[in-house]
Structure 1
Amino acid sequence: MPEQPQWHERTLDMPPQDPWADQPAASGPPGFAASPGAPEAADPPSPFTQGRARVNPQAHQRQFAEHEPTGVGWPGADAPHARGMSWRWSDLRRGNEWSTAAALFAFVCWGIWALSGGGSLGTSVIVFVVTLIVAIGVFCLARVVGYYVIERAMGRQRRSARGSHLVTALFLVGVGIADLQQTEWVMTAWNWVAGQLS
């Protein structure tokens, strides 16, 4: 029985070919020019052939799962819940310069009214403490109204409490001006200055 060839003996040794190289016009030994009347030899077959590839347009389309766009999160996950009312200390401190300055103004005006009234100092202190408690209530009310208007109705997130501090400052300035209006000598001086300017 003849011996079977090994796997490396069954392969063909082919020289490397450049498919883009110019093919010779005629075959023959080097230095041999083909005569003009001689028939041209057929070109050797190219390893690449021209043609049109068949492309399936359905193959390149990606299929996505149907889901409701929620804006964040994975498809199929529950929609994020609305953010609750935030009372973080870092948010409440932003804008406190308004209410602090207004509280100082109200304190000075209260002091002028309390010292000029000649009444009981304990009653005047109670009036000022009640004024500060009402100012804190005004601040909390402004925060609640801002939550429902800005965050719930407009869908925006508040990063500070400047609006609430501004409303509280307006309240305290109004209380301070009311204290000054109840002080007799302050109103007399005010009327004198206003008369001189008119």
Structure 2
Amino acid sequence: MARRVCSSARRRQVGFSLVEVSIVTAIVLIVSILGIPAINSYVIENKVPKVAGELQRYVARTKANGQGVTSPYTGIDTGNLARAMRNSSILAVDADSLARVAHGLGGNGTSSGLIAVAAGNGGASFTVTLDDVNDAACPGLASMMQRVAQRIEVTGGSAAVVKDALSAPAVAYSALAAESACSNGDTNQFAFTIW
């Protein structure tokens, strides 16, 4: 007795070939490699208003606490910032030593990408310095901090004072100067001096 093979059993299985799967995988890999830097820049750019907001609140609180004193910022340091920001959800504070505050705009957050605070002019002013800031934060960070800082210096590809309200003649804030002073990558430093 001969068996008849049903025509539906002879149908060929349909699917993707190994070559097709390999091509799609290569395309996805190339798009991912090209897109990761853009995503990183986008994330950093979106952090700028939050970081600047935290720093503006710190500056306002510090200035309010120093009113009526001749040298209000004598002895101010990074520890002061760390204590003020220890409950911040934006800035990362080293809970053990309260001597390291990371800004999250570049660097690794342990040995770079940190914020330092130091007194100046015999305690009449203080400077907030951010190191290893990514170029995606330029000039947004300077633009937001120019409201509270009397002097702003940006060091990246070159060093430039982009605002100095106390010099003669005064240097008005320039976003273009801040942008041109920045270089690509996590290599920029911002120094905001507050009187």
- Aligning the two structures, in what range does the TM-score lie when normalised by the shorter sequence? under 0.3
Q: What is the TM-score when the length of structure 2 is the normalising length?
A: 0.27
Query: Whose helix fraction is larger, Structure 1's or Structure 2's?
Result: 1
Larger relative contact order, structure 1 or 2 (CA cutoff 8 Å, min sep 6): 1
Q: What is the TM-score when the length of structure 1 is the normalising length?
A: 0.27
Query: Whose strand fraction is larger, Structure 1's or Structure 2's?
Result: 2
Larger Rg: 1
